[in-house]
Amino acid sequence: MSASYTDRAAGAGNGEALIRLENVSRVYRMGDSEVRALDDVSLAVGRGEFVALMGPSGSGKSTLLHVLGCLDSPTSGAYALEGQAVHDLSEDRLAEIRQKRIGFIFQSYHLVPRMTAARNVELPMLLAGVEPSERRERVRVALESVGLGRRARHRPDEMSGGERQRVAIARAMVMRPHLLLADEPTGNLDSRTGDEIVALLEGLNAAGLTIVLVTHDPRIAGHAGRLIRMLDGRIQADGAEEEPAFSGGAAATGPPATPGSPPVSRAGEFKP
């Protein structure tokens, strides 16, 4: 394994969007009624973007993240991830894409309670069949990079919320994903701890990682380069960080922000 994290994050480098959704809908049918959790969403996200997703409860944020993360498939419409159509792939192929290219973090961390931090971080590599010696080294580097080098042997119930979320970030990054999806990752944390988590995410983004983050907190969203507002399963506004008070007018439908120039430095963080 010689490619650095940054090399892999930059991918083929042919300039295509990392994410491209075209007229994606996700309809839940329950008996006679249906819920359009996503309603004709089109969206492009370039490599290296940091996108915040806001909107009221039930507006479709988590559904959008699940589709982006290949945890769920659109009812209609097209999804291309790194130029590859993924909307009609089999569950096996989707699982492979999730494992190799996508990291997730959640509001409630989703760590395995009876496993140590090190074991939690190791888990995705166990499932992917990474060699034991490489697993150990990657666990060490990942935990150090989130400031938990000395907490490797602790279990989640011996850690604070902020520490648990850092373990979750280390776990999400250990397979060197190209895309990190975060569903209200600071929702259970006090504001100072939330700021620390966002600072970590900003560091990963600066090293080339593309991030889509759901948040209710405008202050957290302010760290992202682009803010997307959802309402009733649709994108209501999409642009660079804007004044929240002005969002009542026509939705901005301009092109997505241009991804940053190819990242350099800090590339060794998740390198074995």
> CA-CA distance, 60 to 232, in Å (whole number)?
7
- Residue ranges of alpha helices (H) inside 69-131 are 91-101, 117-128
If the CB atoms of residues 194 and 208 are measured against Mg ion, the closer one turns out to be 194
Select from 28-36, 127-135, 218-226, 260-268 the region that touches ligand ADP (CB under 6 A).
Answer: 28-36
Reported as type and span, the H/E element at residue 103 is strand 102-106
| Residues near ligand ADP (CB under 6 A), total | 12
Residue 59 contact partner, candidates Mg ion, ligand ADP, none, CB within 5 to 8 A by sort of partner:
ligand ADP
If the CB atoms of residues 11 and 58 are measured against ligand ADP, the closer one turns out to be 58
If the CB atoms of residues 205 and 215 are measured against Mg ion, the closer one turns out to be 215
Among residue numbers 40 through 79, which ones bind ligand ADP (CB under 6 A)? 55, 57-63
Residue 263 contact partner, candidates ligand ADP, Mg ion, none, CB within 5 to 8 A by sort of partner:
none
If the CB atoms of residues 35 and 206 are measured against ligand ADP, the closer one turns out to be 35
> CA-CA distance, 106 to 81, in Å (whole number)?
21
> CA-CA distance, 38 to 61, in Å (whole number)?
9
Residue 63 contact partner, candidates ligand ADP, Mg ion, none, CB within 5 to 8 A by sort of partner:
ligand ADP
Least gap, CB of 218 to Mg ion (angstroms): 17
Least gap, CB of 233 to ligand ADP (angstroms): 7
Which neighbouring-strand residues pair with 36?
A: 27
Question: Between vectors from CA 174 to CA 110 and to CA 131, what angle results, nearest 5°?
Answer: 115
If the CB atoms of residues 67 and 125 are measured against ligand ADP, the closer one turns out to be 67
37 touches ligand ADP by CB under 6 A? yes
Residue whose C-alpha is closest to residue 142's, from 272, 270, 7: 270
Least gap, CB of 61 to ligand ADP (angstroms): 3
28 touches ligand ADP by CB under 6 A? yes
The string of DSSP letters for 115-156 reads S-HHHHHHHHHHHHT--HHHHHHHHHHHHHHTT-GGGTT--G
116 touches ligand ADP by CB under 6 A? no
User: Phi then psi for 111, rounded to 5 degrees?
Assistant: -85, 160
> CA-CA distance, 241 to 7, in Å (whole number)?
28
> Which of residues 35, 95, 231, 252 is near ligand ADP by CB under 6 A?
35
Residue 88 contact partner, candidates Mg ion, ligand ADP, none, CB within 5 to 8 A by sort of partner:
none
Among residue numbers 5 through 64, which ones bind Mg ion (CB under 5 A)? 62
Question: Between vectors from CA 212 to CA 120 and to CA 214, what angle results, nearest 5°?
Answer: 85
Residue 205 contact partner, candidates Mg ion, ligand ADP, none, CB within 5 to 8 A by sort of partner:
none
Residue whose C-alpha is closest to residue 16's, from 98, 81, 105: 81
Please check whether residue 238 is in contact with residue 252, taking contact to mean a CB–CB distance below 8 angstroms: yes
Q: Which residue ranges make up the site for Mg ion (CB under 5 A)? A: 62
**Residues interacting with ligand ADP, by CB under 6 A?**
28, 30, 35, 37, 55, 57-63
